[in-house]
Amino acid sequence: MPIKQIKLHKVKMKLNSPFTTSFGTMETKEFFITEIIDDKGNRGFGESVAFTSPWYSEETVKTNEHVIEDFLIPLLKENTIEHPDEVLEVFKSIRRHNMAKSTLEGAIWDLYAKRKEIPLAEALGGTKSEIDVGISIGIQPTVEDLINTIDHYVKEGYKRIKIKIKPGWDVDVLREVRKQFPDTPIMADANSAYTLNDIDHLKQLDDLNLMMIEQPLAHDDIIDHATLQEAMETPVCLDESIHSFEDARKAVELGSCKIINVKIGRVGGLTEAKRIHDYCKEKGIDIWCGGMLEAGVGRAHNIALTTLTQFTLPGDTASSARYWKQDIIDPEVTVTDGVIKVPTKPGIGYEINEEALKSYTTEVKTFDL
């Protein structure tokens, strides 16, 4: 693919409502939209997912910028790429920095699909024409607020509700939620807020018929999670712990989880996400596509990935309107009865809303290849 130019749009958007996890509250999202342009003027788009502070992973907006500019773009200058599956190999000399890599790799996948004039979903081998989605609800000021918020999204049709938990906002809260919503598919996400000392406490969740508990223990652990899964009925799902196909394989072999949350940025791009998908399909491990409060471009990539068959559980890619007053894509992502219709146009299948993107952009850097 003859890549001629790369543009890094630095963007800042305000969330409709603050999002609170066991680590703190986010009110805005800063990220990059990468635009990769070929010799014919085709444009592929990617979105970075790292946050401004390294609470979820070690990467940040600033480390993404540094690594993309100083290491990854130079590697794209030195190498030619025929197929997006080669990008990870080209980036191999750079350890980790998966979210930085994924930002460029995603744009190259979009460009590839546009050049072939096929939807990104098809380019990835996906077959679904619609995908089921759930919603992730941050920690609320009161249980009543939480119940009202859940009620709102259940009425909107979301297929499952994910509730953020932390010590002091967990078993009692979920028990109350289960009482109010006896039949709703519910899961909990701890973002690494517990240790094995909490094992008896966490085991109380087994009475609540949860779909899963996501990342209860340390962000870098797969050993203690195996101990917990052994002791607990509720399926353990890993998020933060899985950075690669190898991590997924080892976690599954150890019995550290029964489910995996696949985030494209966390695993270094769509090619690695596909490898994890294929492995989990072979092993019969259910997976779903996680979210990083993405704007439209990242959301479109998540939707395309979710069309692969082993994404058997609803993901976190909710509607644009759940996050943003005005998204940067046209049309925006909409959810009807808990379902997103997969776009059929080439590439990510949504147009960039240039005016909206511009209104959120604080800086644009251009690199000629």
Q: Which of 84, 126, 134, 291 binds ligand OSB (CB under 6 A)?
A: 291
Could you tell me which residues come within 8 angstroms of residue 43 by beta carbon, excluding any fewer than 6 positions away? 35, 36, 37, 111, 114, 352
Residue 160 CB, nearest distance to ligand OSB (Å)?
12
Cα→Cα distances 215→196, 257, 330, Å? 12, 9, 34
Scanning 117-232, the segments in alpha helix (DSSP H) are 120-124, 143-156, 171-180, 199-203, 224-231
Among Mg ion, ligand OSB, none, partner that 292 touches (CB below 5 to 8 angstroms by kind): ligand OSB
The residues in 200-229 that bind Mg ion, with binding defined as CB under 5 A, are 214
47 binds ligand OSB (CB under 6 A): no
The answer to whether the beta carbons of residues 22 and 198 sit under 8 Å apart is: no
Burial code (b: 16+ CB inside 10 Å, e: under 16) for 245-279 equals bebbbebbeeebbbbbbbbbbbbbbbbbbbbbbeb
The residues in 224-243 that bind Mg ion, with binding defined as CB under 5 A, are 239
Catalytic residue, candidates 101, 164, 166, 274: 164
Q: Which of 42, 103, 191, 234 binds ligand OSB (CB under 6 A)?
A: 191
Q: Which of 104, 257, 273, 292 binds ligand OSB (CB under 6 A)?
A: 292
- At 329, list the tokens: 């894509």
- Please say if 62 is a catalytic residue: no
290 binds ligand OSB (CB under 6 A): yes
Interface segment toward ligand OSB; rule CB under 6 A; list 27-35, 241-249, 284-292, 349-357: 284-292
Q: Which residues share a beta bridge with 165?
A: none
Among ligand OSB, Mg ion, none, partner that 291 touches (CB below 5 to 8 angstroms by kind): ligand OSB
Q: Where are the beta strands (DSSP E) in 100-196?
A: 130-132, 135-137, 161-164, 186-189
Residue number, 19 or 245, with CB nearest to ligand OSB: 19
- Please say if 128 is a catalytic residue: no
Among ligand OSB, Mg ion, none, partner that 315 touches (CB below 5 to 8 angstroms by kind): none
Residue 125: CB atoms within 10 Å: 12
Q: Which positions are catalytic?
A: 164, 263
